[in-house]
Amino acid sequence: MSQRTKPELLIYDFGGCEGCPLSIIRVIVQLSQIVNVSSRYLGSVDLNRSYDYAVLTGSICLDSVRHVETLRKIRENAKIVIAYGSCASVGGITLYARGGQEPMPEHRKFTSITKLIDVDYSIPGCPPAPQTLISLLSNIKQGRGYFLDLFKASSYTSKLSGFDLIDEIVLTGLCVGCGACVLSCPTNALQMIEGHPDLIPEKCIRCGSCTVRCPRFSQLLMQRAKLLEKSRILIRGVSGEKHG
């Protein structure tokens, strides 16, 4: 494939632990074979041009006008926006930061980017293994598939965690005890007790991995997305009109 015909992909981090962009760096060679990558690490970020894909990482501090404006600009210039990693997609551990906590942060509020702009695909994970991005681009190119629908559906929510899993699947009796959530939890916050998961609240970092791995929760997300697609309500921010 020639350099010119490859899609343009922007990787942009809005702040956090840098785990997501660093994880992507590990597959930068593989990624460069299918897209032209613009990244801060490559010194090639230009926010005044258009992109086919924008892969956004980190959560947004609502006190930072600069970050909010940058996010709006990227949305306007990108055909497909991917919220990559738990902070960008579902808030992750930054949801616990609510201001006035010792010793920091002073910022009042962090939120996932899915709350501010219309996102096309949302990938939880802390951080997602970089192979995920390659798989996602491949699936988007083909334009179909259950998992593509799932990650589209998860862009309609801005909060997913072990708490939601317990509330919506376990306590409602929908859990079949397959163990997907327990096997997916990076902090061992979930444990199997009498055939069903139980949550250790202090250990949950709200990464959302358990919810998108749970076959039943995935189903709920997709069903809700179908309803929300028709009447998408943004809490604040840009209108999020789709490009292309």
Residue numbers at the binding site for other proteins (CB under 8 A) = 23, 30, 33-34, 123-129, 131-132, 134-136, 138-139, 141-142, 144-147, 151, 169, 172-180, 182-184, 186, 192, 195, 209, 212-216, 218-220, 223-224, 227
In the bound state with other proteins, the residue whose beta carbon lies nearer, of 46 and 229, is 229
Nearest-approach distance from CB 69 to other proteins, in angstroms: 30
In the bound state with other proteins, the residue whose beta carbon lies nearer, of 30 and 101, is 30
Nearest-approach distance from CB 170 to other proteins, in angstroms: 10
162 Cβ partners below 8 Å, 6+ apart?
Answer: 181, 185, 189, 190, 199, 201, 204, 206, 210
Three-state DSSP string of 123-182: ECCCCCCCHHHHHHHHHHHHCCCHHHHHHHHHHHCCCCCHHHHHHHHHCCCCCCCCCHHH
Nearest-approach distance from CB 26 to other proteins, in angstroms: 10
Nearest-approach distance from CB 94 to other proteins, in angstroms: 18
Q: Is 185 helix (H, G, I), strand (E, B) or coil?
A: coil
β-strands 190-193, 196-199 pairing: antiparallel
In the bound state with other proteins, the residue whose beta carbon lies nearer, of 87 and 136, is 136
Nearest-approach distance from CB 8 to other proteins, in angstroms: 19
What's the rounded Cα separation, in Å, for the pair 14 and 108? 16
Nearest-approach distance from CB 107 to other proteins, in angstroms: 27
- The residue among 21, 160, 139, 168 whose CA lies nearest residue 80 is 139
Nearest-approach distance from CB 99 to other proteins, in angstroms: 29
> What is the secondary structure of 49-112 as a DSSP string?
S-EEEEEEESPEETT-HHHHHHHHHHHHHEEEEEEESHHHHH-GGGGG--SS-SSS---S-EE-
What's the rounded Cα separation, in Å, for the pair 81 and 89? 11
In the bound state with other proteins, the residue whose beta carbon lies nearer, of 34 and 238, is 34
Length of the chain: 244
Q: Is the peptide bond before 103 cis (omega within 30 degrees of 0)?
A: yes
In the bound state with other proteins, the residue whose beta carbon lies nearer, of 67 and 152, is 152
In the bound state with other proteins, the residue whose beta carbon lies nearer, of 10 and 169, is 169
In the bound state with other proteins, the residue whose beta carbon lies nearer, of 179 and 240, is 179
* Structural element, H or E, at residue 225: helix 215-230
